Amino acid sequence: MNNMLSSIEPQNQSITTFLILGFPNTRKVEIALFFVFLTMYLLTVTGNIIIIITVNTDNHLQTPMYFFLGNLSLLDIGYTSSTVPNLLSILLMNVHTISLVGCISQSYFFFFLGSAECFLLAVMAYDRYIAICYPLRYSIIINRRICVIFVIVCWISGCLSPLVAALMLINLPFCGPKVINHFFCDIPPLLKLACIDTSLIQQIIFLLSAMVILSTFLCTIISYTYIGITILKIPSSHGRHKAFSTCASHLTVVSLYYGTVIFMYVSPTTRSSFDLNKVIAVIYSVVTPMLNPMIYTLRNQDMKTALKRIIFRMGIRKKELDLSKQFHP
C-alpha cells in the first residue's frame, strides 16, 4: 500500500492510468470486506433478476407499476455492476490500476444509470399519483404505449445527463499524484488530480447534478403530496391503509436513494471529506440496490403471491418431469 501511495507521476508529465485506493487496511480486513461486498452483490443481482423474471412471467403483474419495477431492477443490476466487480478485484487480487479511458467510462456508466434511476423513480411516483388520485382514468392515462415512452425517455435522459461531465473529464490533463481516494472513479476525487484549476468544471458538474437530482426529487415530492392529500380524504381507515400500501415500497426506496444521493452530490460541504464520501457511496451504490428487491417483495402482497405461484408451478413441472422419467426411462 505504501508503494501505491508513493507512486506519483512527475508534475510535467500527463498520466493515463490511475490507482484506485479502495478501502486500505490489513489483508485480513480486505478479505473480510471482499466477502461482505460479494455477498451483497450476489444478493442484489439475484434479487433483481427474480423480480424481472416474476414481472415478465406472471400474468397478474402485467400492469404499469410492475413494468416500471422491472426496469428499476434492470437499472439496479447495471448500477451496482458498474462499480462492485472492480472493487472486488481490488480487495481480492489487489488490482488497483485503471486506465484513464476505463476510469471515465466507469464514471459515465455509473452516473448514466444513476440518473436514469432518478428519472424512473419520478415516473413511478407519477404513476402512483394517477392511480390514487384519478383511479377511474388510470388505464386511459397510463396505457402501455405511455409506459414504453416513459421508460425510453428515462433511459435516454440518463444517457445524456453525464455526457457533458464525461467530455470535460476526458479532456483534462492529469499530472499526478495518480491515486484516486475512492473505491470507484467518482468525479470529485478525480478532479482533485487534474493539473489545472477545475473550480469552474466543479460548478458546472454540481449544477448538472443538482438539476437532475433535485428536479426528479421535486416531481416525486409533488406527486406524493397530492397522494397524501387524497389518502387523507378517504373516509375509511381500511381504504386509507390499502391506498398507502400501494405506495409504501416505492416511498421507502425513494427515501433511501435520494437521502444519500442528495447528501453526496447536492451538498457541497460533503465534498471535502472523501472518507465520509466513500461510506455514503457504499449506501447508495451497493446497499440500496440490494435492499430494493427485499422491499418490493417483503412489503408487496402481489409480488409475494406471484412468487408463490411461480414456485408452485415449478414444483408441479418437476413432479411431471419425474413421472415422465419413471414411465419413459
Confidence of residue 321 (pLDDT cuts 50, 70, 90): low
CATH number at residue 96: 1.20.1070.10
Is 6 a domain residue? no
Q: What is the pLDDT of residue 150?
A: 96
Mean pLDDT of 289-295: 87
Is 84 a domain residue? yes
Is 54 a domain residue? yes
Q: What is the pLDDT of residue 94?
A: 87
Counted domains in the chain: 1
pTM score, two decimals?
A: 0.86
Bond before 85 cis per omega within 30 degrees: no
Q: What is the pLDDT of residue 6?
A: 43
Q: What are the cell numbers at 65?
A: 407499476
Instruction: State pLDDT tens for residues 73-101.
Output: 999 999 999 999 999 999 998 888 999 89
Mean residue pLDDT of the chain comes to 85
Is 311 a domain residue? no
Is 11 a domain residue? no
Q: Is residue 49 scored above 90 in pLDDT?
A: yes
Is 1 a domain residue? no
Instruction: State pLDDT tens for residues 240-289.
Output: 887 787 788 888 888 888 888 887 777 655 445 667 778 888 988 899 89
Q: How many helices (H) and strands (E) does the chain have?
A: 14, 3
Instruction: State pLDDT tens for residues 4-27.
Output: 444 444 444 567 789 998 888 888
Domain membership of residue 258 as a residue range: 17-302
Which among 79, 91, 76, 1 has a CA at the least distance from the CA of 38? 91
Distance CA 173, CA 12 (A): 10
Q: Is residue 323 scored above 50 in pLDDT?
A: yes
Q: What is the pLDDT of residue 10?
A: 43
Residue 316 has a CB neighbour count (10 Å cut-off) of 10
Q: What are the cell numbers at 311?
A: 414456485
Confidence of residue 46 (pLDDT cuts 50, 70, 90): very high
Is 316 a domain residue? no
Is 5 a domain residue? no
Instruction: State pLDDT tens for residues 192-242.
Output: 888 888 889 888 988 998 899 999 999 999 999 999 999 888 888 877 887
The H or E element that residue 77 is part of is helix 64-81
